[in-house]
Amino acid sequence: MTEPLTFGSLFAGIGGFDLGFERAGMVCKWQVEIDDYANRVLAKHWPAVSRWRDIRQFPDTSTAAVDVICGGFPCQDISYAGRGAGLEGERSGLFFEAVRVVQQLRPRAVVLENVAALLTRGLDRVLGTLAEVGYNAEWHCVPAAAVGAPHIRDRVFVVAYASGIGCVYRKPEIEARPGQHPLIDHRPVRQDVANTASGRLQAGAGLWSDGKSSGRRKFAGSSDDGRESQWAVEPSVGRVAHGIPSRVDRLRGLGNAVVPQVAEFVGRLVIERLAE
């Protein structure tokens, strides 16, 4: 039996990447996160994992080598809602700190995530910088709606492999139209699911009401083990009503988090590619 792949998590937040990669079959060895509230969440769910606070002071001599490094680097300077400083911005510019960590630890693969605006606000530089340090990259915009969520949440995932690994063209078993990944559900969701940019909340394509007034919808499909997948229309934050401690922290943590189901999908593809 082969040993599971290991990973380290940069900009870990509340652990969306970490949960997804663990579901895919990887083992988390360390996390880096500066936010106080997010660190408490990580400590609760990953008590045995080593953690560091500031990526600018990471790694040190005790840092374990890992197969994969993942991270959703800050998007504030890349998002269209921001001022457009891009990778020159103070926060989104931490991408270069992530690259420095990659140079030092030399994982077999790197997985980075950011908002869809990265496609026009710095993706070329991200790919070029990774190439300069010896990593060949591929990328795709994967919406949360593709894994059953009743909202779009477009996010770009950049997967980079150490030179000589991965990025090999294979004819897909399922034919897909240009620009579509064969393993993602590409039903026409944009007119049918919630889009935070539109200010509307709608039921999703392929979703059906469970007949109750709970505000939940079930995805019209099943997981591998036969259980029905179910998503809440909105995050379950009923216990964080106005005036309750950590309400804003919880909402911010959810808003910044990588969707675990998408991370799991990407993680499984990385495991498959590295196994080749």
pLDDT score at 189: 46
Q: CA-CA distance, 114 to 237, in Å (whole number)?
A: 24
Provide the 8-state DSSP code for 166. S
Give pTM, 2 decimals.
0.76
8: β partners: 30, 69
Spell out the alpha helix ranges (H) of 109-219.
123-132
Provide the 8-state DSSP code for 200. B
Residue with the two structure tokens 């709970």: 214
H/E element holding 104? helix 95-105
Spell 80-92 as b/e; 16+ CB within 10 A means b: eebeebbbebeeb
pLDDT score at 166: 53
- 141 flagged as catalytic: no
Residue with the two structure tokens 């300077």: 77
pLDDT score at 248: 84
Provide the 8-state DSSP code for 72. E
Q: Long-range contacts of range 83-86, CB-CB < 8 Å, 24 or more positions apart?
A: 84/121, 86/121, 86/122
CA torsion angle 43 45 46 47 (round to 10): 50
| 260-275 helix and 16-24 helix, angle to the nearest 10 degrees | 50
pLDDT score at 234: 52
Task: Answer whether 4's CB lies under 8 Å from 26's CB.
Answer: yes
- Please report, in tens digits, the pLDDT of each residue of the chain (276 residues total): 789 999 999 999 999 999 999 999 999 999 999 999 999 999 999 999 999 999 999 999 999 999 999 999 999 999 998 888 999 999 999 999 999 999 999 999 999 999 999 999 999 999 999 999 999 999 999 999 999 888 899 999 999 999 866 554 444 444 545 555 544 444 444 445 556 554 443 333 333 333 333 333 343 334 454 444 555 545 555 555 556 667 788 888 988 899 999 999 999 999 999 998
Quick one: tokens of 167? 């990025």
pLDDT score at 2: 86
pLDDT score at 246: 74
pLDDT score at 239: 53
pLDDT score at 226: 44
Catalytic residue among 28, 70, 75, 167: 75
Cα 245 to the center of its chain, rounded Å: 27
Domains (range + CATH), the chain: 6-183+243-275 (3.40.50.150)
